[in-house]
Amino acid sequence: MKRFIMRRLMSFLPTVFIVTVLVYAMALLAPGGDPVSYMLGDSADPELVEHFRKELRLDDPVYVQYGHWIGGVLTGDLGYSIRTNEKMTSVLRSRMAVTLELATGALVVALLIALPIGIYSAARPNSIGDNVGTVFAIAGAALPPFWLGVMLIYVFAVRLGWLPSQGFVPFAEDPVLNLKGMILPMIMTGATGAANLTRQTRSAMLEVLRQDYIRTAYSKGLAEGRVLLRHSLKNAMIPVITVLGLTVARLLGGTAITEIIFGLPGLGQMAVQSAIVRDIPAIQALLVVFAGTVLTVNLLVDVAYGILDPRIRYA
């Protein structure tokens, strides 16, 4: 298993390197060639322009610039946001917590929805339950997340008054208020991811349920639940986990809309605001974080394959 993980890590590192090169190159692709002028405007205060040129080391050769930048990334110095003048490292730390909580919760919601429905649909193909599940899956993919978010607020906050309409309270400050404030955002983000997972789970389970050993299990008199959960699910999970890895990437991107609607101070909202004002240092820092997260999740997905199916780790 250790060797398997090491092999995966060896391929992970070059990928990360290429991503950082591409992220850094984004600054060099700014119209007009000078990223500072692009960020601040053609006639910005010369003092400010000079300040940011020095910050970004734009007078050095490209490879030296990259070296300084990646050195900063590795030592935790991701520069300053031009929009807010905050140090990116501390901003990312505080905002990452919000986005991670949202993405994790959304993933849990997605799994809580997808797995039961997918398993049931596979166990009862062509039934009413199966069709309802299919409708749900298609609707979940088709409905605009924005609309869903506003509807959730309208029903649960305005009409029923059960949950707050927006805002964020840190978990450390008040866990109960934190969770209450995150439920609707998690549902909004998770529901869209659940659709795809539901279909994938159903499809994978159907494949497994057709196997001879499942028939054998039934003929031995095992209860349906035991057959489904103990004998079928694990084997069906491999393709599901693949989709899960992709879902995480989508969830991270999807948090932007959720954070804007619910007023959550997360990475997604920051990415949108930074893009609008061309805050390149902030965008670079955010891209590194997002890319790193997605790559890490995919690495974990690979490792999970090995755990689920020993045949893979020795391949």
Partner 1 sequence: MSIGKWPRLVYVLAAVSALAWSSACGAATPTPTATPRPAPTPTTAPAATATPTPAPRTTPTAGPAATATPTAVATATPTAAPKPTATATPAPSAKRGGALRWVKPTSIHDLDVLQSNTGGDLEKMGPIYDGLVVIEPDRTISPAQAKSWEVSADGKTVTFRLEQGVQFHDGTPFNAAAVKNDLQWKLNADNKYEQRSAIQTIASIDTPDEYTVKLNMTTADALIIPFMAVRPGFVFSPTARDTVSKTDRQLNPVGAGSFKVKKVVVDSYLELEKWDKGFSHGKYPYVDSFRILFIVDPAVRLASYRAGDADIFMATALDREQLKNERATVIYERYATTVATLFLNPRFPPLDNVKVRKAMSMSIDRNALIQGTLFGQATPLNGFIGPAWPWAWDPNYKGNGYDMAGAKALMKEAGYANGFTLEKVTWARGEERQPIMTLMADQFRELKIDAKLEIGLSNQSSRLFRIDKSTSSYYTLWGSGVPDLDSVPRDHFYSQAASFMYKDFLDPAVTQKIDGLLDQGRTTPVTEPAKRAKIYRDAQALIDEHAMAIFLFQEKEFTIYRNYVKDYAEHPSGGTSQWFKVWLDK
Question: What residue ranges bind partner 1 (CB under 8 A)?
Answer: 41-45, 80, 83-86, 126-128, 131, 134-135, 138-139, 142-143, 147, 150-151, 153-154, 157-158, 161, 164-168, 260-265, 269-270, 273, 276-277
Beta bridge partners of 101: none
Report, in Å, the least distance between residue 254 CB and partner 1: 16
Pick 61 or 161: Cβ nearer partner 1: 161
Report, in Å, the least distance between residue 95 CB and partner 1: 9
Report, in Å, the least distance between residue 32 CB and partner 1: 13
Pick 133 or 306: Cβ nearer partner 1: 133
Output the CA–CA distances (angstroms, integers) from residue 254 to 242, 283, 301, in the order listed: 18, 17, 20
Q: State the burial class of residue 163 (Cβ atoms within 10 Å of its Cβ: 0-12, 13-18, 19+).
A: middle
CB 102: neighbour CB atoms within 10 A? 28
Beta bridge partners of 87: 80
Amino acid at 251: L
Amino acid at 273: Q
Beta bridge partners of 80: 87
Report, in Å, the least distance between residue 40 CB and partner 1: 8
DSSP letters, 254-281, are HHHHHHHHHT--SHHHHHHHHHHTT-HH
Pick 227 or 261: Cβ nearer partner 1: 261
Q: Which long-range contacts (CB under 8 A, 24 or more apart) does 208-211 make?
A: 208/232, 208/235, 208/236, 209/122, 209/123, 211/235
Report, in Å, the least distance between residue 107 CB and partner 1: 23
Report, in Å, the least distance between residue 299 CB and partner 1: 31
Pick 51 or 230: Cβ nearer partner 1: 51
Pick 91 or 111: Cβ nearer partner 1: 91
Pick 96 or 157: Cβ nearer partner 1: 157
Q: Does residue 87 sit in helix, strand or coil?
A: strand
